[in-house]
Amino acid sequence: MTNNSTNQRTDNPTPQPTTRKEAKQNREAANDRVERKWNSTGAFSIGLRIIIVVVLLVVAAIAGSMIGYGVIGDGNPLGVLNPSTWSHVLDIMNGVQSE
């Protein structure tokens, strides 16, 4: 026969605090563990992650521009790095008539 009881049985039950003081100490200990977990990541690693993401975005933008200018636009892929190219692009965007 199957056991239809709703009580979960475990080999290692958690001890229940007997006083309010013990319960408060248990909560504080649990909060300390959570706070230590968040502090263990460190500000340096978060800053390093942000720098890596920004660098990857810049590399992706440059690579995408080179592909768009060189492959799709039938130009020299390194020509996208010329300042004259960007001044021409900005002139087109601002509606300046080219001569």
User: CA 70 to CA 19: how far, in whole Å?
Assistant: 74
Is 73 part of a structural domain of the chain?
yes
User: CA 90 to CA 99: how far, in whole Å?
Assistant: 15
Q: Do 75 and 69 form a contact (C-beta atoms < 8 A)?
A: yes
pLDDT digits (tens, 9 = 90+) for 61-89: 999 999 998 888 888 888 888 999 889 88
User: CA 17 to CA 26: how far, in whole Å?
Assistant: 8
47 or 43, which is more confident? 47
Give residue 85's domain range.
Answer: 43-94
How many domains does the chain contain in total? 1
- How many residues can be counted in the chain? 99
Burial class (CB in 10 A: 0-12, 13-18, 19+), 26: middle
> pTM score, two decimals?
0.50
User: CA 34 to CA 76: how far, in whole Å?
Assistant: 55
